[in-house]
Chain A
Amino acid sequence: GIQVEQSPPDLILQEGANSTLRCNFSDSVNNLQWFHQNPWGQLINLFYIPSGTKQNGRLSATTVATERYSLLYISSSQTTDSGVYFCAASGGSYIPTFGRGTSLIVHP
């Protein structure tokens, strides 16, 4: 199956800073998503982005399918951005494989 690696594993920011999270995947994908898991355990779908670039407010994501990576950009970070960010990718089976996540802490 597809292997998904995320970096960095941990990230600590001061409020207002920008950051880039990376997701590498081992094979061609038909689905790639970024999720934010809040401290209560809820998994929020940020982007469905098997290719191209999308933006939603302070967040944006880019997937370069031919080079097998995706990036999540967080600009002007806020304390509410804290949590764990997961990348999930799937190929022919359509069942996603999750990376190990990036744990983000934003200090006021």
Chain B
Amino acid sequence: SAVISQKPSRDICQRGTSLTIQCQVDSQVTMMFWYRQQPGQSLTLIATANQGSEATYESGFVIDKFPISRPNLTFSTLTVSNMSPEDSSIYLCSISEPFNYGYTFGSGTRLTVV
């Protein structure tokens, strides 16, 4: 299956600042997904990112807060903007390889906002 490199692995940020998370895939993929996992909770889909078009956001998530870039078929970034302590979560990127491996996830970014 494809390999995803996600960075940073963790960060501690001041409230009001922004953090950009990067995901690099070792092969070309059509769709990439960004998830949030709040402490003790399951994974929630933030948005789906397709190359060459704007990301599609799930209910409760907006582009101004979580802008996403997808400049090519192997790379995507998620920015968490104007952070507050409520944004402290694990953020994960994912790709789909249906019929073979299903979904593969990056190693995650553990964000703490103070």
**Chain B 90-114 interface 0/1 with A at a Cβ cutoff of 8 Å (1 = within):** 1010001010111111011010000
Contacts of B37 in A (CB 8 A): 41
B105 and A48 form a contact (CB under 8 A): no
Q: Give the complex CA separation of A38 and B98 in angstroms.
A: 24
Known: A41-B108, A86-B43, A95-B48. A48 touches B96 (CB 8 A): no
Contacts of A32 in B (CB 8 A): 102
Partner of A41, one of B102, B104, B110: B110
Partner of A48, one of B42, B45, B101, B107: B101
Contacts of A43 in B (CB 8 A): 43, 92, 105, 108
- In the complex, whether B33 has a CB less than 8 A from a CB of chain A is yes
Binding stretch for chain B, among A20-28, A58-66, A98-106: A98-106
A94 and B42 form a contact (CB under 8 A): no
Interface residues of A in 74-104 (CB under 8 A from B): 86, 88, 94-96, 98-101
Chain B contact patch, size range: 20 to 34
Contacts of A98 in B (CB 8 A): 42-43
B96 and A94 form a contact (CB under 8 A): yes
What is the interface size of chain A, counting residues whose CB is below 8 A from a CB of the partner?
19
Which of chain B's residues has its CB closest to A33's CB? Answer: B102
B108 and A48 form a contact (CB under 8 A): no
| Chain B residues in the interface with A (C-beta under 8 A) | 1, 33, 37, 41-43, 45, 48, 90, 92, 96, 98, 100-105, 107-108, 110
A48-B102, A88-B103 are known contacts; what are 15 more A-B pairs with Cβ within 8 Å?
Answer: A31-B103, A32-B102, A35-B105, A41-B110, A42-B105, A43-B92, A43-B108, A45-B102, A45-B103, A48-B101, A95-B33, A95-B45, A98-B42, A98-B43, A101-B42
Chain A to chain B: the 5 pairs with minimum beta-carbon distance, closest first = A48-B102, A43-B105, A33-B102, A41-B108, A98-B43
